[in-house]
Amino acid sequence: MTSLLITNALVVNEGTLRELDVYIDDGRIAKLGADLSSQPADRVIDATGKHLLPGMIDDQVHFREPGLTHKGEIATESAAAVAGGITSYFEMPNANPLTINREALEDKYQRAAQKSLANFAFYLGASNDNLENIKSLDPKAACGIKVFMGASTGNMLVDKPEILEGIFQYAPTIVVTHCEDTPMIKANEDQYREQYGEDIPMSCHPLIRSQEACYKSSSFAVELAKRFDTRLHVLHLTTEKEMALFRAGPLAEKRITAEACVHHLFFSEEDYEAKGSLIKCNPAVKKASDRQAILDAINSDLIDVVATDHAPHTWDEKQGTYFKAPAGLPLVQHAVVSMLEHYHRGQFSLETIVQKTSHNVAQLFQIENRGYIREGYWADLTLVDLNAPTVVDDQKLYSKCGWSPFGGYIFKSSIVATLVNGEVAFEAGKVNQSVRGARIAFER
């Protein structure tokens, strides 16, 4: 493997910003220092004026393989991820077949080892009758256990209290939840159907998938976790009200943590008029005041992680009426630049962005040797230019679905290069398709 020297980078890491050289050998960060020009490197990247971040570790993506590969595949979606500065991802179980047993989980690891450009790990999904599979899971064999406590794409709803109690009581590793109360949503759907028929305006999505439906389900998840002392991570929070369920304080002391997603930080209900079904996702994009509360909760550490919930559907699928258009957005390629947009707006510091997209994910899921720019750690790195804009152009998308909810937008920053285990996976606007990520190891 080649050695690489990155010189004069503005390194954002562990709450500091320092100009440093980074020497990479055999896939790992071998040395960090003010001047490493004497190191014998095969290649030198001059990073003067550019910021070097630990690569984003996205703890929530849907890459659609196996079974839904007309929407996306591990190869295409991981290419989009590295083009966007994401170096590792955790993938969700609502594929076909569902990832609810050891065989399906191992099948995904094997596929990813062949095809994934970024590092990978997979969730075991909970079903209404796989408690034995959950109990017997080796905690190092999956990033966590995913429970759809609200119905979404893939019919994986588990909401009977007695089944959830078993899962929360016996899960051998972290439980992550999608929280929306399905009976409340169904009642809202009936009400809006009565008013509009099948063609309900997309702007009703946050009223159907309401704040109350989110709160009811997420407060139940938190209650269960407290009762059984479960390690719980609640995914994609969208409402101001839910923020009261979480607390700030050192991550190491938390048993209950929270995630928000880039699209909920970017869009609000005002965008339904222009974007329609292109921003239909579960949980729904809600009010501008909810978005502001989530942005604030990230800064005050009520929310620990920012992820994407990358969920591609084809353009044609997305054209249907309210009930036909599936929920979910392709996001990995612009997640980091969308976070940097909040930096430009004065909302987040660069240090906070790095903490929420990388350090905290590594700490919270107990990832081995990733998530920080430290000597001895894997060289998963993203070089960004805060002053070179990214135009979101459908022609330049790597996701198989070929569209983006950010279509037409110009972000102020761009991804210059992405390194995965010391290999250049993306540079000068091009993905290096020959790079392969590794299976993520957990210290559990």
Integer Rg of the chain from CA = 21
Sign of the torsion formed by the C-alpha atoms of 61, 66, 67 and 73: positive
The residue (of 21 and 309) whose beta carbon lies closer to ligand NCD is 309
Find the shortest distance in angstroms from Cβ 381 to ligand NCD.
Answer: 28
The residue (of 100 and 435) whose beta carbon lies closer to ligand NCD is 100
Find the shortest distance in angstroms from Cβ 399 to ligand NCD.
Answer: 13
Find the shortest distance in angstroms from Cβ 328 to ligand NCD.
Answer: 3
Residues 213/150, Cβ–Cβ less than 8 Å: yes
Residues 334/84, Cβ–Cβ less than 8 Å: yes
Angle between helices 211-228 and 182-196 (to 10 degrees): 170
Count other C-beta atoms under 10 Å from residue 199's C-beta. Answer: 10
Task: Estimate to the nearest angstrom the gap between the alpha carbon of 244 and the chain centroid.
Answer: 23
Cα distance between residue 419 and residue 24, in whole Å: 10
Parallel, antiparallel, or unpaired: how do β-strands 43-46 and 4-13 relate? parallel
Taking CA atoms, 49 is separated from 168, 250, 318, in Å, by 48, 33, 40
Find the shortest distance in angstroms from Cβ 442 to ligand NCD.
Answer: 22
Find the shortest distance in angstroms from Cβ 272 to ligand NCD.
Answer: 15
The residue (of 405 and 437) whose beta carbon lies closer to ligand NCD is 405
The residue (of 154 and 276) whose beta carbon lies closer to ligand NCD is 154
Strand boundaries in 211-328, DSSP class E: 232-234, 256-261, 305-307
Helix (H, G, I), strand (E, B) or coil at 427: strand
Find the shortest distance in angstroms from Cβ 125 to ligand NCD.
Answer: 11
Phi, psi of 52 (to 5 degrees): -110, 125
The residue (of 47 and 311) whose beta carbon lies closer to ligand NCD is 311
Amino acid at position 106, single letter: E
The residue (of 5 and 262) whose beta carbon lies closer to ligand NCD is 262
Amino acid at position 96, single letter: N
Residues that bind ligand NCD (CB under 6 A): 62, 94, 152-154, 178, 281-282, 309, 311, 327-328
The residue (of 30 and 147) whose beta carbon lies closer to ligand NCD is 147
The residue (of 62 and 111) whose beta carbon lies closer to ligand NCD is 62
Find the shortest distance in angstroms from Cβ 150 to ligand NCD.
Answer: 8
The residue (of 55 and 326) whose beta carbon lies closer to ligand NCD is 326
Find the shortest distance in angstroms from Cβ 389 to ligand NCD.
Answer: 28
Find the shortest distance in angstroms from Cβ 154 to ligand NCD.
Answer: 6
Cα distance between residue 68 and residue 187, in whole Å: 29
Cα distance between residue 81 and residue 59, in whole Å: 12
Sign of the torsion formed by the C-alpha atoms of 223, 228, 231 and 232: negative
H or E element in which residue 178 lies = strand 175-178
Phi, psi of 79 (to 5 degrees): -65, -45
